[in-house]
Structure 1
Amino acid sequence: MPMIKFKTSCLLLSLALVACSENTTQTTTANNVEDNLEQKVNLQHIHQDIKILASDKFAGRGPLTVGETLTINYLADQYKKIGLSGAFNGEYLQPVEMAKLTPNQEMTLTIGDLNFNAGSDFTARTQQIQPIIELDNSDVIFVGYGINAPEYQWNDFADIDVKGKTLVVLVNDPGFATQDNTLFTGNAMTYYGRWTYKYEEAARQGAAAVFIVHETAPAAYPWSVVESSNTGSKYTLIDNNKNASQIPIMGWIDVEAAEAVFSQAGLDYHQLKQKALQPDFKAVSLKSTANLTLENQLTMAKSHNVVAQLTGSEAPDEYIVISAHWDHFGTSETETGPKIFNGAVDNASGTAATVEIARIMAKMHQSKPFKRSIIFANFTAEETGLIGSEQFANGDIIPTKQMVALLNIDGMNVLDSVDYILQYGKGLSEMEDYLAKAAKAQGRKVKMDPRPQNGLFFRSDHFSLAKQGVPSLLFMSLGDTDPEYITHKYHKEADDYSENWSLGGVEQDIELIIDIATQLANNGDWPKWKAESDFKNRRLQDRP
């Protein structure tokens, strides 16, 4: 009888152990399923965030408006709920001191005997902190592309003094105009082709004003974009000298108006445009003077970046930055009522993506902490000159030498998934290798920017960090899956949220970004610049 009792006890114990094991396995499996669900992209979250950020209530998310207050508080609250800490001295909001300048559009540009209307014929604004800036009989000179590039043996300012002069310059660079790959970089725009460079170089040369001739193909957008982007309020950081080193007047002029100015001087715009394609081109006087009174309404104000972080376990002073700008063009008052530029794709989609990436990576961090720290940054005033990212790049939070890399999102594919990922720039940095590896893991191919002539690498917040030497990737989908977007929605009132978006493209790009960020957060690598450039030279100053 005792033997029988022993065997029965063993049997009961064995059954109990099996049951316990099964329960433990089921519990573990349930927990793993829950963790996996938490670490998957939640499209419902993204739909909700975009819908809120791009709602009329947020009034187009204009910096220094009620839209900013709603936006930055919403984002800070999201990061707090996720469990991230504030990255600016423990706070989620990084102050960005800047000036808001609103040019009075009741102005007329006079060149010789010709009068041009603001908005329809030309735009003019400034970054100098001055209530009134005047052109008073300023000599008008055509200086070709307005480029001084020693490495390309090119100097449109050779043998001419343009101090106090008004310059007329061509948009883009000679490589695009000729499609000659031996001239600059051919079809792909260099920084010398960007309007920002042309203003910077003219300021270095001492000019009083620059008017860039707008043509849709080389500019990459229609005149309506120039008008909407330059006639309202603009913002700028402020230096100790009221930005006196900036060009006094930053302008654009419609090509038909430019043709009239050349014709008035007995010159042919298109013939001189062709001559400007030669490196020995010499500046030409347009035999007239310019007069303009630019009045500005000035407001000194404080905007904010939203910054949150996960702190690394082994190298907390080394940072991966994942970013997207939160701002758009706000609300414009018109005779027919307010026009709200909700910017759903550009860039409520990217802003929502950073929040979702933060949620997923926070869960990953809880399970297995990242070795390096990760900062999630939503920048202000990107649309008016990359201002928030420029402030971030100044090192208020962390110096650039501690930034491993930047992954920047500026407009996502809100439609179905695709079998490729776009790469902006070619042969620039080792970040391109990370992009290729992550894309391959998804079964996708890397597709080069289909519009390299647009110079998109120089047009978003990552460029502020690249100029400071931080290797960067841009994730942007503006029109490659929706051909109508650039023409009918980009920087227009029609960029609205739709419940019909599948967000398949958003999902796959978020997964790809997380893959790259996870690798960099754990592998100790410091990606390098490949091509000889100012970016590479700047990085060598930080990390010899």
Structure 2
Amino acid sequence: MRLVPLSLAVVLALPALALAAPPLPGGGISGDSLARDIGTLASDAFEGRAPGTAGEDRTVDYLVRRFREAGLEPAGEDGGWTQTVELVRSEIEGTPALSIAVEGERQALTQGEEIAVETLRPGARVHLEDVPLVFVGYGVHAPELGWDDYAGQDLHGKVAVVLVNDPDFETPEPGLFGGRAITYYGRWSYKYEEAARRGAAGVLIVHETAPAAYPWATVRAGRLGPQYDIVRDDAEAAHVPVRGWIQRDLAESLFARAGLDLEAQKRAAQRKGFVPVPLAEATFSADFGVERSRITSRNVLGLLPGDARPEETVVVSAHWDALGKDEGGGDGDPVHHGAVDNATGTASLIELARVFAAGERPDRSLLFLATTAEESGLLGAMYYAANPLRPLATTAADINMEMWSPDGPTHDISTWGMGHVSLERDVAAAAAVDGRRWSPDPKPEAGFFYRADHFAFAKAGVPAITVGPGMDQLEGGTAEGEADRAAYFATAYHQAADTYDADWDMRGPVTDLTTVYRLVEDIANDAGWPQWDAGSEFEAERAGSAAARAAAGD
């Protein structure tokens, strides 16, 4: 670990309030401890921490040992440390045969290059032969807005070509979708879900870096390995036979050969009243075998029982999984180490547990939850929210942690997306104790609110938030912070290059985790309950359990 001395100017700029901030128990957050756990979890020995692998076994064993050493009690099933999460694992066998054809002229496509496909639908083989392609704009059906990109189009036996993000992302003025801040309609997962409801044979999303918020390398890395899903009774209906992404250049060529202009069609799709456009004489073919199996993965859970109201819970969460190994990665390193994403968050669970256990017990119990299969669609968190081991009605909040930055400390701390929840104000208050401030998500259009485990709790009504690093660096300011963040997403996010380096500047994670400690402590000792703001899409779900919280206060 490299500790970079603060300049005199930076020291003088620190608010006086920070000098009076109350100390944390256990000697406070330790950068050395964080670095040790991050380095271990992101090492080659953990093989990228993919569910259902030897890497998972090592990860779970490590977390159990470190939770026990920190002073937690087991909080899993049957008095143990884990919760079983049954998953379906799907992996394409060999090299898939993929192609498009326009007026009989066929173009072979290479998996991972022009296209990246996957399947979660039951079956040992996917076979589509010259299935018609239909452009369905952004693939949105929002009846509350009077918006339907499908406009009565029958998608049975057809493959939908869709744009990523919302119709408002590139429009000069905010429209029905509220501007550039993404809604759930803009997420790729929604587009797959809606196409499945329409009976489509497949979905191909046109990749563009800005609206997707990540480069093609991220798409490729996420699609070439095994895919996971929770065990579903309705898996046949829940998934299209084949789904994936195509490069922007391929989409432009495809549209042009079908006599259409992609940009013109995109502009049309940004307006209410868009109707689907069949790509004349254009078809898609896919043929590949699928190896399927059921695997047992695990969430890891440790509890610090509360003193005054132990039946009430504050969940502190982070996902332990990364993307495993990609032997065909081509860059000489098959391991997706997942150092920033999310060994930093997982190590933070361990360190927070140690510090809290060293002090006075909070009024509410703290549940430290390390989830599996976040990278496959928040599956571990979804499973816990559907099968909670402590009642959700008396769970005050979920505070989730993701992707602390090794680029130096910041004046601010941020949260993902615009959650419209009182927890955002609570983060601001916790940061102010140490002379820091809260910054709202600088890129709500990237959809991070829907891309982290707290979203599974939010859908179940529990006030929830993901906390991440700010970008206003003490040395370099916001410009430097934005440049560092952009470089990470361009070169390391979901790639083998997301590695731990002993030269990381651990002052940033230490400062951010100190703020998280103060946030969790405040919620755990407050007799009140965090709330969704009026008009939030999760407000009604939470209201349904109000009686249980009222009874807990009696």
**What's the TM-score, normalizing by structure 1?**
0.89
Provide the identity percentage: 38
Q: In structure 2, do the counterparts of structure 1 residues 49 and 487 end up closer, same or farther at CA, with 3 Å as the change threshold?
A: same
Q: Partner residue of 1:23?
A: none
Supply the AA of the counterpart residue of 2:100.
I
Aligned residues of 1:96 and 1:302 also touching (Cα < 8 A): yes
Q: Partner residue of 2:178?
A: 185
Residue from 300, 318, 324 that aligns with 2:318: 324
Q: Partner residue of 1:100?
A: 89
Q: Partner residue of 2:113?
A: 120
Q: In structure 2, do the counterparts of structure 1 residues 62 and 358 end up closer, same or farther at CA, with 3 Å as the change threshold?
A: same
Deviations for 1:278-301, whole angstroms, at most 9, x for unmatched residues? 111100111233221242111211
Aligned residues of 1:427 and 1:531 also touching (Cα < 8 A): no
- Whether 2:459 is the aligned partner of 1:471: answer no
Supply the AA of the counterpart residue of 1:306.
V
Q: Partner residue of 2:292?
A: 298
* TM-fit CA distance, 1:336: 7.4
Written as runs of structure 1 = structure 2, the 5 A alignment for 1:7-156 is 38-89=26-77, 90-104=79-93, 106-112=95-101, 113=105, 114-156=107-149
Q: Partner residue of 1:19?
A: none
* TM-fit CA distance, 1:37: 5.9
Residue from 210, 218, 221 that aligns with 1:225: 218
* TM-fit CA distance, 1:140: 1.3
Supply the distance in 1 between the matched residues of 2:346 and 2:29 (Cα, whole angstroms): 15
Q: In structure 2, do the counterparts of structure 1 residues 188 and 242 end up closer, same or farther at CA, with 3 Å as the change threshold?
A: closer
Aligned residues of 1:105 and 1:118 also touching (Cα < 8 A): no
Aligned residues of 1:179 and 1:187 also touching (Cα < 8 A): no
* TM-fit CA distance, 1:531: 4.6
Q: Partner residue of 2:307?
A: 313
Q: Partner residue of 1:3?
A: none
* TM-fit CA distance, 1:71: 0.7
Q: Partner residue of 1:392?
A: 384
Q: In structure 2, do the counterparts of structure 1 residues 70 and 183 end up closer, same or farther at CA, with 3 Å as the change threshold?
A: same
Supply the distance in 1 between the matched residues of 2:253 and 2:108 (Cα, whole angstroms): 10
Supply the distance in 2 between the matched residues of 1:460 and 1:432 (Cα, whole angstroms): 16
Aligned residues of 2:418 and 2:441 also touching (Cα < 8 A): no
Aligned residues of 1:125 and 1:294 also touching (Cα < 8 A): no
Written as runs of structure 1 = structure 2, the 5 A alignment for 1:133-282 is 133-282=126-275
Q: Partner residue of 2:488?
A: 485
Q: In structure 2, do the counterparts of structure 1 residues 249 and 375 end up closer, same or farther at CA, with 3 Å as the change threshold?
A: same
SS at match of 1:174: coil
* TM-fit CA distance, 1:247: 2.4
Supply the AA of the counterpart residue of 1:502.
D
Deviations for 1:290-319, whole angstroms, at most 9, x for unmatched residues? 221242111211011111111122322221
Bigger shift: residues 313-322 or 529-538 = 529-538
Supply the distance in 2 between the matched residues of 1:159 and 1:395 (Cα, whole angstroms): 37
Q: Partner residue of 1:404?
A: 396
SS at match of 2:518: helix
- Whether 2:337 is the aligned partner of 1:349: answer no
Supply the distance in 1 between the matched residues of 2:110 and 2:274 (Cα, whole angstroms): 31
Supply the distance in 2 between the matched residues of 1:197 and 1:315 (Cα, whole angstroms): 39
* TM-fit CA distance, 1:249: 1.7
Supply the distance in 2 between the matched residues of 1:105 and 1:440 (Cα, whole angstroms): 54
Aligned residues of 1:99 and 1:237 also touching (Cα < 8 A): yes
Q: Partner residue of 2:478?
A: none
Q: Partner residue of 2:279?
A: 286
Q: Partner residue of 1:517?
A: 520
Supply the distance in 2 between the matched residues of 1:320 and 1:495 (Cα, whole angstroms): 30
* TM-fit CA distance, 1:124: 1.3
Deviations for 1:204-262, whole angstroms, at most 9, x for unmatched residues? 12212110000111111111111111111111111124454222222111111112221
Written as runs of structure 1 = structure 2, the 5 A alignment for 1:329-344 is 329-334=323-328, 339-344=334-339
SS at match of 1:450: coil
Supply the distance in 2 between the matched residues of 1:270 and 1:182 (Cα, whole angstroms): 19
Aligned residues of 2:193 and 2:238 also touching (Cα < 8 A): no
Q: Partner residue of 2:451?
A: 459
Q: Partner residue of 1:20?
A: none
Supply the distance in 2 between the matched residues of 1:218 and 1:162 (Cα, whole angstroms): 25
Aligned residues of 1:180 and 1:187 also touching (Cα < 8 A): no
Supply the distance in 1 between the matched residues of 2:59 and 2:514 (Cα, whole angstroms): 25
Q: Partner residue of 2:13?
A: none
Gaps of 5+ in 2: 1-22, 471-480, 548-554
Gaps of 5+ in 1: 1-34
Large movers: runs of 4+ above 6 Å:
none
Q: In structure 2, do the counterparts of structure 1 residues 404 and 177 end up closer, same or farther at CA, with 3 Å as the change threshold?
A: same
Supply the distance in 1 between the matched residues of 2:143 and 2:180 (Cα, whole angstroms): 20
Q: In structure 2, do the counterparts of structure 1 residues 321 and 166 end up closer, same or farther at CA, with 3 Å as the change threshold?
A: same
* TM-fit CA distance, 1:38: 1.2
Bigger shift: residues 433-442 or 274-283 = 433-442
* TM-fit CA distance, 1:482: 4.3
Q: In structure 2, do the counterparts of structure 1 residues 531 and 264 end up closer, same or farther at CA, with 3 Å as the change threshold?
A: farther
Supply the AA of the counterpart residue of 1:68.
E
SS at match of 1:341: coil
Supply the distance in 1 between the matched residues of 2:404 and 2:56 (Cα, whole angstroms): 21
Q: In structure 2, do the counterparts of structure 1 residues 36 and 389 end up closer, same or farther at CA, with 3 Å as the change threshold?
A: closer
Q: In structure 2, do the counterparts of structure 1 residues 290 and 430 end up closer, same or farther at CA, with 3 Å as the change threshold?
A: same
SS at match of 2:211: helix
Supply the distance in 2 between the matched residues of 1:381 and 1:511 (Cα, whole angstroms): 27
Supply the distance in 1 between the matched residues of 2:469 and 2:291 (Cα, whole angstroms): 35
Aligned residues of 1:393 and 1:399 also touching (Cα < 8 A): no
Supply the distance in 2 between the matched residues of 1:356 and 1:38 (Cα, whole angstroms): 10
Q: Partner residue of 1:438?
A: 430
SS at match of 1:177: coil
SS at match of 1:433: helix
When the two chains are superposed, the root-mean-square deviation of aligned CA atoms in Å is 1.9
SS at match of 1:383: helix
Deviations for 1:343-377, whole angstroms, at most 9, x for unmatched residues? 1111111111110000011112xx3x222111001
- Whether 2:498 is the aligned partner of 1:500: answer no
Q: Partner residue of 1:529?
A: 532
Q: How many residues align?
A: 507
Supply the AA of the counterpart residue of 2:87.
M
